């Protein structure tokens, strides 16, 4: 996670002395798109958070299938990718188990990403895996689409299960937005931050601000990490104010195109 810290010190000399205000702003991008590509010659799907890998694959003839899902930028549940150079056309396999990945490497598979996580699991939505025992390349398919998953299982694919988790798609409605209660200037009476997370998952972005005992957290939910072919940008911006008990209550809200 990239965190940028900006500290601004404003000092003014008054008759009673010097008053100093320190502003600490931390901006963090919380999520990343996982791109999905398809090789029509081998039947394999390829998944990556890297725009460079995505574009290189497109140049090499892979079909771009857009965003497969959105993942947290980091979590305690990494996903690893290994490559089988001996399979017809090559084959990639994804797993949360580093032990399983290393076992495949010991049998002749190769590490991708130098053994580092290619992306992370996290969120409230399932990414399903299905296995084709008759395929050498593209034997595993990963999707959030339950219709796609069930179609594969109905056509002989095996092992219908959740491989890992993803961040829920932008799912705000205008009524949900209107139901949020904005508290007073200190947030008193406002909707709790945790209740928003439980309904709408990890925000796209979070910015925290604190100064002299006053702290806020501004979150943005938008659809920029997902395909929005109609060009209709949607977002919800919420600012929560920290309370004495450590909770955050809503003090401001705004939206676009709900």
User: What is the pLDDT, as a whole number, of residue 225?
Assistant: 85
Which residues in the chain land under pLDDT 70? Answer: 1-29, 227-230
Return the bridge partners of 256, or none.
235
Q: Is the pTM of this model over 0.85?
A: no
Closest CA to 57 of 73, 72, 41: 41
Radius of gyration of the chain (CA): 23
User: What is the pLDDT, as a whole number, of residue 122?
Assistant: 94
C-beta separation of 99 from 106 below 8 A: no
User: What is the pLDDT, as a whole number, of residue 228?
Assistant: 65
C-beta separation of 196 from 180 below 8 A: yes
Phi and psi, residue 30, nearest 5°: -90, -25
User: What is the pLDDT, as a whole number, of residue 224?
Assistant: 86
- In the DSSP assignment, the letter for residue 173 is -
User: What is the pLDDT, as a whole number, of residue 230?
Assistant: 63
* 19, two tokens: 């008053």
pLDDT tens across 55-109, in order?
A: 999 999 999 999 999 999 999 999 999 999 988 878 999 999 999 999 999 999 9
């Amino acid at each position: 996670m990239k965190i940028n810290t900006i500290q601004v010190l404003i000092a003014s000399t008054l008759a009673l002395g010097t008053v100093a205000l320190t502003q600490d702003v931390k901006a963090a991008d919380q999520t990343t798109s996982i791109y999905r590509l398809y090789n029509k010659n081998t039947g394999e799907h390829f998944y990556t958070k890297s725009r460079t890998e995505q574009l290189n694959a497109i140049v090499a003839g892979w079909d771009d299938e857009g965003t497969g899902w959105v993942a947290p930028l980091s979590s305690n549940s990494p996903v690893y990718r290994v490559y089988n150079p001996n399979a017809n056309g090559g084959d990639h396999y994804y797993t949360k188990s580093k032990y399983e990945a290393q076992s495949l490497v010991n049998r002749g598979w190769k590490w991708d990403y130098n053994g580092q996580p290619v992306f992370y699991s996290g969120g409230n939505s399932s990414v399903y895996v299905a296995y084709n025992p008759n395929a050498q390349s593209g034997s595993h398919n990963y999707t959030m689409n339950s219709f796609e998953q069930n179609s594969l299982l109905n056509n002989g694919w095996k092992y219908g299960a959740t491989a890992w988790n993803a961040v829920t798609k932008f799912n705000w409605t205008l009524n949900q937005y209107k139901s949020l209660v904005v508290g007073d200037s200190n947030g008193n009476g406002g909707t709790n931050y945790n209740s928003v997370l439980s309904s709408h998952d990890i925000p796209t972005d979070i910015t925290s601000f604190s100064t002299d005992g006053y702290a806020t957290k501004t979150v943005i939910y938008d659809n920029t990490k997902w395909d929005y072919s109609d060009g209709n940008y949607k977002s919800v911006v919420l600012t929560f104010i920290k309370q004495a008990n450590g909770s955050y209550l809503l003090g401001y809200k705004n939206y676009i195109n709900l």
